[in-house]
Structure 1
């Protein structure tokens, strides 16, 4: 017995076909890095916008490659990208007394390593938290990216305790 004989014949209409082609054209071929955009209060947003204006075009030799969605609160360099997010929430690791801060050119950072081998560093003792994620391929290279971020952060984000 053929179960398909009594099934009604279905065809895709032109609108459905156009939608299918449009969606498939926007699929995984996009190599742009993605970063969640923080949602700080207006004071911190202003500090982050000030930082955004001062960020370098190159970080540790890597060209600017901003993540999507585009925002004055995020920036990126290289591929895989070094991602900077400004105005993030205070990371829980800052509450751990065992967390050892790292200081690079006058900017203090709290450091954590993710299971995938990437590193996340977040500024400490600044009026806004700035988070930098180094992909696994760059995590072992040292503090090079942090050196490039030090001057812009010192000029844009005053010292203090963020809320």
Structure 2
């Protein structure tokens, strides 16, 4: 019999002691390693106090008469708009289904074929994600597109929602012949 196999009352072999000590340390180290290496996850959104009910009534919007070219461009734009902008679902509108869209409550609205923005030359124009806008009268209006588009963003929503329309505007509404100073170059 060797020393490891001799039974001594009240004493454990050095191998047993090493195993009893090393095993929990190895498990903790492995757990820590896997926690450090796992991909970061986004925190779960905090549950709202109460679910928000979306009105089922259409959003009241005007529908000015459009010429043939404006109608074609606006229909192309509206056909490519998303069903939802961030967490705002698309809603029905009272008029101009081929030129108007609305999202959420209070409604963020988009109107295609509106009059061109009129503003002093000293006002700033802002290029957001490739589209040039002028802010005035509580709305943002494109100033670099063949057919002007106006987006009204209620104060309850972030104005950065405008960029959700940029790619669709660029793809469906051609540049205007004259681009205002400050809008940058044509894309």
Q: TM-score, normalized by length of structure 2? A: 0.61
SS in 1 for 2:135: strand
Q: Residue in 2 aligned with 1:134?
A: 153
Q: Residue in 2 aligned with 1:156?
A: 172
Q: Residue in 2 aligned with 1:147?
A: 163
Q: CA RMSD in A?
A: 1.9
Which of the two has higher C-alpha Rg? 2
- Deviation (angstroms), 1:39: 1.7
- Deviation (angstroms), 1:103: 1.1
* Aligned partners of 1:33 and 1:80 also within 8 Å: no
What aligned pairs does 1:1-163 form with structure 2 within 5 A after superposition? 31-93=57-119, 96-112=120-136, 114=137, 119-138=138-157, 141-143=158-160, 145-161=161-177
Distance 1:155 1:30 in 2: 30
The one of the two structures with greater contact order (alpha-carbon pairs below 8 A, sep at least 6) is 1
Stretch of structure 1 that moved more, 69-78 or 49-58: 69-78
Alignment gaps of 5+ in structure 1: 1-28
Structure 1 pair 142/83, CA: closer, same or farther in 2 (3 Å)? Answer: closer
* Aligned partners of 1:120 and 1:134 also within 8 Å: yes
Distance 1:137 1:100 in 2: 24
Distance 2:56 2:91 in 1: 13
Alignment gaps of 5+ in structure 2: 1-54, 179-187
Q: TM-score, normalized by length of structure 1? A: 0.70
